[in-house]
Amino acid sequence: MLGFCTDSGAQLPPELIGRYGIGVVPLTVTVDGVEHREGIDIDADTFWDRFGRANPSVQTAAPSPGRFLEVWGDLAARGVTEIVSIHTGSEVSSTFDAARIAAEMAPVPAHLVDTHTASFAVGCCTWEAAEAAEDGASVEEVVKIAEAVAGSVGNVFVVGALDLVRAGGRLRSDIKDEGGIPVLSLVGGKVQPVGRATSLDDACDQMAAYVLGLGGGLRVGVSVADRAAAPLWEALEARLVGSPKVREVVRYRVGPSVGAHSGPGTAGAVAYPTI
């Protein structure tokens, strides 16, 4: 039986984790000097509550090889005989390096996929791979599908803390705060503008247009960080659900490992054309 694993940086919602029985390896998020396992010791609401009360010091770290072995062991105990483990890109995290070390000690064969991407784009790779497996795809086919999605997935978002994104070193140096709401996309490891909105409604219109421009048969994840951004969640989702180009929409939260770099007020979408 084929099983799937990813890391918590993929921001997979419980809906998809439960649907496909996906194992999730938690990243370490250190908030004001206290270490937490993302999704276990700290969730999105707890994390954003800290931002509401103060401006915490936050660092993120890749999981140890031992954490992979724990999750893979749980999958093996459920009857999984082979694992496809799909992870945050090696260019932005050492998570994949830890997975490679763990694979030498895995309880069952572990086929690793370096997505060369981050956040819910990794989740999209995992989503499509697991869906393909349910349709009868082989291990080799599933790995190729995950890699193909990594090359086609797109993203668009707005942030409430542009300075935090700039401080993380991923914002293109020529992007200035010129008023309005910058509509952004992470491309090639750099945040770049794709528009500038005059209102939140305008921002939702622009983000929806960007998503629909990615193609047809789209699977879409619509995200918000803190609950205060939930109206954007609902407005963007409303513009996408029912479109003939959209196959399915799920909601997910921007959790600690991603939110540490984008800040509160973040909302957007990640989408890909189904393979």
CB burial readout 199-234, b (16+ within 10 A) else e: ebeebbbbbbebbbebeeebbbbbbbbbeebeebbe
Q: Is residue 25 pLDDT above 60, yes or no?
A: yes
Q: Is residue 274 pLDDT above 60, yes or no?
A: yes
| Mean pLDDT over each residue of the chain, to the nearest integer | 92
Q: Is residue 185 pLDDT above 60, yes or no?
A: yes
- Percent of residues, the chain, with pLDDT higher than 70: 93
2-27+62-151 carries CATH number 3.40.190.10: no
pLDDT in tens, 242-273: 999 999 999 999 999 998 888 888 999 999 99
Q: What is the pLDDT of residue 60?
A: 94
Out of 28-42, 93-107, 149-163, 165-179, least confident range: 165-179
With beta carbons less than 8 A apart as the criterion, state whether 11 and 252 touch.
yes
User: What is the gyration radius of the CA atoms in the chain, in angstroms?
Assistant: 18
Q: Is residue 125 pLDDT above 90, yes or no?
A: yes
Q: Is residue 225 pLDDT above 80, yes or no?
A: yes
Q: Is residue 190 pLDDT above 90, yes or no?
A: no
pLDDT in tens, 129-155: 999 999 999 999 999 999 999 999 999
Q: Is residue 59 pLDDT above 60, yes or no?
A: yes
**What is the pLDDT confidence band of residue 160, given thresholds at 50, 70 and 90?**
confident
**What is the pLDDT confidence band of residue 173, given thresholds at 50, 70 and 90?**
low
* 126 or 50, greater pLDDT: 126
SS (H, E, C) 227-265: HHHHHHHHHHHHHHCCCCCEEEEEEEECCHHHHHHHCCC
Q: Which fold has domain 154-273?
A: Hypothetical Protein Tm841; Chain: A;domain 3 (3.30.1180)
Domain ranges of the chain: 2-27+62-151, 154-273
